[in-house]
A and B are shown apart, each in its own frame.
Chain A
C-alpha cells in the first residue's frame, strides 16, 4: 500500500468519540432487533421472517465488532490539506480515496456539531461542490471554524468561464 499523506489530521479524540457514537447506535439497533424478535414469537410470524431476523442480527453483530476497530483505522487514514487554490482530502479504510477540489468549484461549506461532538469540542466540516459533498469529520472546534472561514473566503472567487 502506497502511503500518500497530507499535512493535517483529525482531532485525536475522534476515534474515542466515534466509538462511543457507534456503540450507542449499535446498542439501539440491537434493542430494536430484540423487540422485533419478541414480536415474532408473540404473533407467531412465518418461519422465513425468523431467517430474515437472524440475518439482520448477524449483520448487526458483525457491524458492532467492526465498529470497535474502524474508528482508529479511519482516524489514521484521514488527512487533509489546503492552500489558496485547492482543498485536498485523503481517507478510507477498505478503499482509500484521494480527492482534489479547486476552491473555486466549492459551492458551500458548513460545520455540523451533534451533542456528542459538543461534549468533545469538535465539529465536522461539510463541503459541497456541484455534484458531490464531502465531510471532514471530527475536527477540533477552532480548526473547523477557521477552515470554514478560509474555504468560504476562497470559494467566493469564481473562474471567468462560468
Chain B
C-alpha cells in the first residue's frame, strides 16, 4: 500500500483556508461587533468545523492509501467509516491533470482518473502527485487499455482510424508510442475575439460593486458624495473620461481573464487518445480515449453566432470524481472555434465522424405545428400578469406590454427554431441542428445510441410530423430531441436504428 504525497496535507489545508476565508471574514471582520445569535454561535461553530477539518485532513493522510495490482487500483479511504474499493484500469475513461498555482510552486501536479462508475469511493483522485509519478500512473492505465485492445483482434473501428490517419500499424505485444499530432493551438486573435463573445468583461460590474461596498466606509459621507456626483454630472469631459476608462478596464479585464483561462490551449491526438492542454496560471491536461466518445455537440450562443464562433463538446460516458472540482467544461474541445475550423477539427480528430452530410430542412408544415403548439410559459405568465397587474418602473400599463413582448419572443424563438432545424443521416451517423436564439448541433453514431424513441402528439399527428429522441451513454444519460420532423423520417430512422447490429460485437454468451 502507498500513501499519497505528503504535500497533500498542505494542499488540503490551503484549500480549506481558501474556501473558508470568505466566511471567516464575514464572521470575524465584517460582523465583528454583531451580537446576533447567528454570528455569535456561528463563530464557535466555524472554529469547531475548521479544527475538525484540520484534524481530519492530517489523519486521513495516515489512513488513506492506494496500490495497484492485477490491472486494477485498490483504494482505501475514510477514517471512521472505511471504504476500500477496487477499480480496474479498463474502467478509466479519461485522464485529467491539473496544475494549479499551488502545484507549480512545488513542481507537482494533480491527477484524476475518471471512471464510468457512479457513486462515492469510485473515483481515483490524487490531489498532489509528482509529475513523474502522474505520468507513470497514466501510462499504467493507458498501456492496459492498449493491451486489452490488441487482444481483441480485428477491431474494425480501430483499423479504420489507423488507416485514415495513416499511422503505422502496431504489432501485437509491442506497445509503441503513436505519433501525436497537434490539431489546434489558440492564437492571440482567437483569444481576443473570444474575450468579447464570452462577455466575461461584464464580470467587472459585480466586482466593482463589491469594491465600492468595501470602500464606502472610507469614502466621505452621503451628502459630500452627492456633491461629488453633481460635479461629475456637471462636467461632460469628466463623464466621458470615466466611462472610457471604465470600458478600457472592463475590456482589459475580460481579455486578461480569457488569456489566463484559455491561453496555451492545445488540442492534439494520436490514434487512440485525444489530448487537451490549457491554462496559463492553472494548467490542466485532459486525455480521453477515442473509442469512448459517445457523440459530439457543437453549440453556438447568440454572441458566438454574431462572431462566427462555436464550441465543440465531446459527449463521453464519464462521471466526475469528487475531488475534481470545476471540471464542468472539461468535455469541451474549445469554446471559441470558428465554425469551419470546428468541422475540420472534428474530421481530423475523429475521422469516423463525417461533417460533409447534406442537411435536410424541415417542411413548411412544421412551422405551423411549432406556432400552433400552446406555450405554457406564455399562458401561465399571462394569467399571472393579468391577475396581479404589476407596475414595473412606475409604469401603469406595463403588464400588457410585457404580455405582448413575451408573445413576440415566443414566436421569434419558434420561427428561429424552425429555420435552424436541419437533420441528416449518412451511413451509421445521425446529426441534427436545432435551437432558437442559441443553436446546437448533435452528432452520434448508431452503435452509441442506447435507445431511440419517436413520439407524436395529437397536433403533430394531424400534420403528419413527429419528434425523435436519441439516448446516449453519459452521466446522466444524454437525451437529445428533434421536434416536428416528417413522420416518414421517423420511420426511416427506426429502420436505420434496427440495423445497428451490423456495427456491434456481442460478448457474454
Does A131 contact B508, Cβ atoms closer than 8 Å? no
By CB atoms of chain A within 10 A, which of B450, B473, B490, B498 has the most? B450
Contact across chains for A102 and B453 when beta carbons are under 8 A apart = no
- CB pair B454–A158 under 8 Å, yes or no, is no
Which stretch, B56-64, B261-269, B455-463, touches the partner chain A? B455-463
Given A2-B464, A129-B450: A158 and B507 within 8 A (CB)?
Answer: yes
| CB-CB contacts below 8 Å: B59-104 with A | none
Which chain A positions have C-beta within 8 A of B453?
Answer: 97-100
Q: How far does the alpha carbon of A135 sit from the alpha carbon of B28 in the complex, in Å?
A: 57
Which residue of A is nearest B157, CB measured? Answer: A161
**What chain A residues lie within 8 Å of B498 (beta carbons)?**
85-86, 100
With contact pairs A95-B456, A132-B477 given, residues A102 and B505 touching in the complex (Cβ less than 8 Å): no
Report A-chain residues with C-beta under 8 Å of the C-beta of B504.
104, 159-161
Shortest beta-carbon distance, B160 to chain A, in Å? 14
- Distance between Cα atoms of A130 and B477 in the complex (Å): 7
A1 at the interface (CB under 8 A from B): yes
Pair B458/A4 contact, Cβ less than 8 Å: no
- Complex CA–CA separation, A156 to B494 (angstroms): 24
Give the chain A neighbours of B505 by CB distance below 8 A. Answer: 159-161
- Which of chain A's residues 79-131 have a Cβ closer than 8 Å to chain B? 85-86, 92, 94-102, 104-105, 129-131
Chain A hits for B476, CB < 8 A: 131
Complex Cα–Cα for A102 and B494 (A): 12
Assess the B473–A100 pair: CB atoms within 8 A. Answer: no
| B507–A160 CB distance below 8 A | yes
Closest CB of chain A to B96's CB: distance in Å?
22
A2 touches B461 (CB 8 A): yes
Min CB distance B119 to A, Å, is 14
B349 to chain A, nearest CB (A): 18
Complex: how many Å from CA A86 to CA B291? 24
Name the residue on B nearest A101 (C-beta): B451
**Interchain nearest-CB distance for B184 vs A (Å):** 27
Q: Are A161 and B450 in contact (CB under 8 A)?
A: no
B455 near A95 with CB under 8 A, answer yes
Given A2-B487, A105-B450, A160-B152, decide whether A132 and B471 contact each other with a Cβ distance below 8 A: yes
Does A157 count as interface, using CB distance less than 8 angstroms?
Answer: yes
Report A67 CB to chain B, min CB distance, Å.
19
Which of A94, A95, A129, A157 is in CB contact (< 8 Å) with B451?
A: A129
Would you give the shortest CB distance from B490 to chain A, in whole angstroms? Answer: 8
With beta carbons under 8 angstroms apart, the residue of A1, A94, A105, A156 that contacts B508 is A156
Tell me which residues from 120 to 162 in chain A have a Cβ below 8 Å from any Cβ of chain B: 129-132, 156-161
The yes or no answer to B509 lying at the interface (CB within 8 A) is yes
Q: A2-B464, A157-B506, A159-B505 are in contact. Are A100 and B450 (CB under 8 A)?
A: no
CB contacts under 8 Å to A, within B492-506, are: 494, 497-498, 500-501, 504-506
Question: Within A1-54, which residues are at the interface with B (CB < 8 Å)?
Answer: 1-2, 4
| 8 Å CB contact of B509 from A99, A130, A157, A161 | A157
Question: Does B452 sit at the interface, judged by CB under 8 A?
Answer: yes
Determine whether the beta carbon of B506 is less than 8 Å from that of A98: no
Cα–Cα, bound, A85→B447 (Å): 13
Are B506 and A100 neighbours in the complex by a CB distance under 8 Å? no
Check: B491 CB closer than 8 A to any chain A CB. Answer: yes
CA distance A13 to B473 in the complex (A): 38
Least CB distance from A87 to B in Å reads 10
Chain A residues lying within 8 Å of B464, measured Cβ to Cβ, are: 2
| Bound form: Cα–Cα A16–B455 in Å | 27
- Give Cα A95 to B479, complex, Å: 18
B454 and A130 contact, CB distance less than 8 A: no
Please tell me if the beta carbons of A102 and B455 are within 8 angstroms of each other in the complex.
Answer: no
Q: Are A157 and B450 in contact (CB under 8 A)?
A: no
CB-CB nearest in chain B for A104 = B506
B461 and A96 within 8 A (CB): yes
Bound together, the chains give a CA A130 to CA B294 distance in angstroms of 14
Contact A105 B451 (CB under 8 A): yes
Cross-chain contact A100 with B494 (CB below 8 angstroms): yes
Question: Which of B152, B451, B461 is close to A100, meaning CB atoms less than 8 Å apart?
Answer: B451
Please, could you name 23 A-B residue pairs with CB atoms under 8 Å apart, sorted by A? A1-B458, A1-B462, A4-B491, A85-B501, A92-B455, A95-B455, A98-B454, A98-B494, A99-B453, A100-B498, A101-B450, A105-B450, A130-B450, A130-B471, A130-B473, A131-B450, A131-B471, A131-B477, A132-B451, A157-B507, A157-B509, A159-B504, A160-B507
Beyond known contacts A94-B458, A100-B452, A159-B504: 5 more, CB 8 A cutoff: A1-B461, A95-B457, A96-B456, A97-B454, A105-B450
Q: Which residues of A does B touch, CB under 8 Å?
A: 1-2, 4, 85-86, 92, 94-102, 104-105, 129-132, 156-161
